[in-house]
């Protein structure tokens, strides 16, 4: 009898937890794969949107505005797709024009020596995966140490927290990654 009561109590606890998770906005597809948080990036505090953006850049150009903490993918006809991004903190912001020289899915991460000098506690290398700070996708910018990459910390989007890279939610970086190719021009405005 005690064992049957314990099993009943356990079943009710699991059901109550599932109901609470649904009430808090959890999506069961996240557990099974394919839900909105599947990539671990969560929802961006700055939703991706199409905006009016009259510039003289060719469609397909990426424009990063670090002051706005936004990345624009020029669509043409006076429009762009706007994404929220995290940017370099004070002392790590930069500007210039580069091209995407490589694209990687679930990239591994080896912190550069400059970063290890500032943060000796960091791992020397991390394989790609959900816990990796580069997130689901990375687009490498010319000969620089910088990238446009994913993040599993959506709360940092719209903040100045990086060492010069531009971070996006994993959902947004996966979207951008599918829209651009190696050779895409990236203009960074500070």
The torsion defined by the Cα of 154, 158, 164 and 166, in degrees rounded to 10, comes to: 60
State the catalytic residue, choosing from 165, 168, 176, 188: 165
How far apart are the C-alpha atoms of 183 and 150, rounded to whole Å? 19
State the catalytic residue, choosing from 103, 137, 147, 149: 149
Strand pairing class (62-65; 137-141): unpaired
Give the distance, in angstroms, between the CA of residue 167 and the centroid of all CA atoms in the same chain. 5
How far apart are the C-alpha atoms of 39 and 149, rounded to whole Å? 13
How far apart are the C-alpha atoms of 156 and 2, rounded to whole Å? 49
Residues in a beta bridge with 65: 70, 189
Q: Does 155 qualify as catalytic in the annotation?
A: no
Strand order across the 96-105 sheet: 49-52, 79-84, 70-76, 62-65, 185-189, 96-105, 137-141, 147-149, 166-167
140, 121 contact by CB (below 8 A): no
Q: Does 159 qualify as catalytic in the annotation?
A: no
Residue with tokens 């505005």: 65
Question: Which residue numbers are catalytic?
Answer: 149, 165
């Amino acid at each position: 009898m005690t064992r049957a009561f314990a099993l009943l109590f356990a079943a009710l606890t699991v059901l109550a937890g599932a109901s609470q998770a649904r009430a808090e906005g959890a999506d069961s597809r996240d557990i099974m794969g394919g839900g909105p948080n599947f990539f671990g990036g969560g929802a961006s505090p700055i939703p991706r949107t199409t905006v009016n953006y009259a510039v003289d850049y060719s469609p397909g150009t990426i424009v990063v505005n670090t002051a706005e903490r936004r990345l624009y993918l020029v669509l043409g006809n006076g429009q762009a797709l706007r994404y929220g991004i995290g940017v370099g903190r004070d002392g790590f912001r930069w500007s210039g024009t580069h091209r995407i020289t490589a694209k990687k899915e679930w990239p591994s991460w080896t912190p550069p020596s400059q970063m290890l000098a500032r943060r000796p506690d960091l791992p020397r290398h991390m394989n790609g995966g959900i816990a990796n700070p580069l997130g689901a996708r990375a687009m490498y910018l010319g000969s620089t140490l910088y990238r446009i990459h994913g993040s599993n910390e959506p709360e940092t989007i719209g903040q100045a927290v990086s060492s010069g890279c531009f971070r996006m939610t994993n959902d947004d970086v996966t979207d951008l990654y599918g829209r651009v190719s190696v050779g895409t021009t990236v203009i960074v405005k500070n």
